[in-house]
Every structure is written in structure tokens, then in C-alpha cells.
Structure 1
Amino acid sequence: MRVIIGKWGEVLTTLNGDKELVDLNTPKGAMYVDGVAPVSERDYWDGKRFISIGEAPSPNHKFNYALEKWIDPRTLDEIKAQKWAEIKSGRDQLEFGGFEFKGNTYDSDQVSQGRIMGAAVAGVDQIWTLADNTTVELSASQLQQLYAALQAHIASVHERGRITRQLIFEAETKDQVEAINL
């Protein structure tokens, strides 16, 4: 087996066959190595032996064969956009993932938000199903308080999102952006 190696040591392909066949199929600027094989397709040739590049530090990293190390090729603006998308997703999970009111956890998905608003407006006592599927009796006044608690929950989550978005916008380095959490 002969291993075709690119300019920077990256494994391009492997071929079986005689020297003439390999020579014909070796791209310009590439070379081949005889008698030694990479352990995995993620190895590179350092001029003497195959070396593993290991696992990427993140899904965003690409291995730079010229530098022989993992790099994150994204621009600062791309990192900021990706971080903001992650923050928005986390913000939605917090908003729609339930909230506490008087020691109980209530659902806060979009359907539940509509139900709470409708119950608060209706002004009648109700038995309410909690997030864990147990029930509580709520007076009309308590339903209005529940609705106010829901609105406070949503406002708090979105305030956290706005603060985080500003921090992302003001960040000047990739490390600063990556350190930001909701």
C-alpha cells in the first residue's frame, strides 16, 4: 500500500499497485509514502512518520496542516452571530421551560401562556394543572397573580437576553465572546 500525501502532510488517499500506477495517480505537488500506513485517516505525515491530529477541540475547529495544529477559522463576527443564536435558543428554553409561583412549578410554553392569560381575564376560580400534572385550586385573584408572575418571568428572561446580547456586541475577542453565558 502506498499513501498519497499532500503538500502539508495530509493524507489524500491510499493506493495499491505498482510504482508506475502510483506515480500516474499522484497529483502534482503531492508525494507518496511506501511501507507505512496511517493508523487513521486523521493522521498526517511529518516527513518521518504519521502523527495523529487528535480530536477537534470543538465542532468549529479545522486542522491546519501547515501549522500542525487545530484552529478556529471563524471571524469574530461569525463567532458573535453563533453565540447570539445559542443565547436565543437558551432564552427560549428558559421562557418556555416553566416558572415558579407560590412554591409550585407552572408550564410556560406558548399554549400555557395563553391559558394563563385567559384564566386571569375570565375572573373565576379554577383548578389548575401544574407542570408535574398535580393540581391546585386557584382563586380568580390568584390567577391574576399567576399571570403577573408569568409576565415577570418572561420579562426577566428577556432582560437577561438583552444584557447578554450587549455583552456579545461589545466583545473584542473570540475568548470574550465564548466566555459569555445566559
Structure 2
Amino acid sequence: MTAIVDSNGKPLFLISGDEKTALLNIPEGCIAVHNPPSTNVYYQDGWVEMAPQPTPFHEFDYITKEWVDPRSLDEIKAQKWAEIKSQRDILEFGGFEYKGNVYDSDQVSQGRILGAATAGIDQVWTLADNTTVELSASQLQQLYAALQAHIASVHERGRIARQLIFEAETKEQVEAINL
């Protein structure tokens, strides 16, 4: 196999055949070289292994021989906000602690906690690990308040992250933001 490489070292395509066939298929400004040893290489007086791709968004610049992120600052901000919202949802719906026990907080569980707190009667409650605890009507109201505090805390963190994303002036500042 023969690889056809452009003037910047970018492999364009492979040719199967003899040397004459390869020579007939070399576009102007390109060269024919031996088959590359892997797919993650460029040609510069021989095959050179590229550094690992930093993120799925990075593209290899064959001129500078570096990975670059071609997204605009606005695109990076939008992507970061989508990541933050996803993390926020995982935290909100992933359970919360109340008096040393972990309770489910998915949407169905939130509705059940509200209903139990509103009913005003003592209940046996199933925890996230499927063990049970007995809760008085007062404790169920406190559980609901703890759930609301958990949700408010998660969303407050999201609002702070969103504001930081909005105010960021560089890609590096956006990338440094966490929930």
C-alpha cells in the first residue's frame, strides 16, 4: 500500500497497486510514501505519531502540527452550559441526605415526598438503598423541606455556573467552570 500525503503531511488516501499506479494517482503538490503505521499520524520526513486528541471537539492542524479547538467562544459557552445542566439534573435527581439517610429524589420520589408531607400521617419510608425508616408526620414535613433545600442548592450552583459562563471572556475561563 502507498499513502498519498499533501504538502502539510496530511494523509489523503491509500493506493493499492504497483509503483507506476501510485505515480499516476499523485495529485499536484502531494507525495507518495509507504503505508502509515496507524491512523493517528502525519508525515514529516517520516511518519510522526500525533499526540492524543484532547477533546472530541479538537481537530488536528497539519500546518502547525497541533490539535486546535475550532469552536467559537459562543459555541464553547453553549456546550459548557449543556454540560452543567446535565450535571445539575444528575445531582437533583440522584438522591439527597436527610438525618444520615439517603432518599431518592427522582421526579416520582419528589411527588411521593410532597404527598406524604401533605398527608400529615406517620409512614414507613423506603430509602434509596431499599431499607426502611419510620417517619412521623412532622419528620415527613422536614424531609420535604430538606428535599426543597437540596433542589434549591443544586439550582443555585447551576445559576452561579451559568453566570460565570456568560461572563467568561476566553475559552480557558469557560473550560475552568464546574458545577
TM-score range, shorter chain: over 0.9
Partner of 1:27: 27
Structure 2: segments with no counterpart, 5+ residues: none
TM-score (norm 2): 0.94
Identical columns (%): 67
Secondary structure in 1 matching 2:133: strand
For the Cα contact (< 8 Å) 1:37–1:50, is it kept in 2? no
Deviation digits for residues 43-80 of structure 1 (CA, Å, limit 9, x no counterpart): 1111x211111311122211100111111111111111
| AA partner of residue 9 (structure 2) | G
Between the aligned partners of 2:51 and 2:178, the Cα distance in structure 1 is 28
Between the aligned partners of 1:80 and 1:8, the Cα distance in structure 2 is 32
Partner of 1:76: 73
TM-score (norm 1): 0.93
Q: Give the 5 Å matches for 1:45-56.
A: 45-46=43-44, 48-56=45-53
Between the aligned partners of 2:42 and 2:153, the Cα distance in structure 1 is 50
Between the aligned partners of 1:4 and 1:161, the Cα distance in structure 2 is 49
| AA partner of residue 20 (structure 1) | K
Secondary structure in 1 matching 2:125: strand
Runs of at least 4 residues off by over 4 Å: none
Between the aligned partners of 2:174 and 2:58, the Cα distance in structure 1 is 16
Between the aligned partners of 2:142 and 2:48, the Cα distance in structure 1 is 64
Q: Does 1:9 align with 2:5?
A: no
Partner of 1:101: 98
Aligned length: 179
Q: Give the 5 Å matches for 1:140-151.
A: 140-151=137-148
Between the aligned partners of 1:130 and 1:19, the Cα distance in structure 2 is 71
CA-based RMSD of the aligned residues comes to: 1.3
Q: Measure how far apart 1:168 and its partner are.
A: 0.5
Q: Measure how far apart 1:3 and its partner are.
A: 1.7
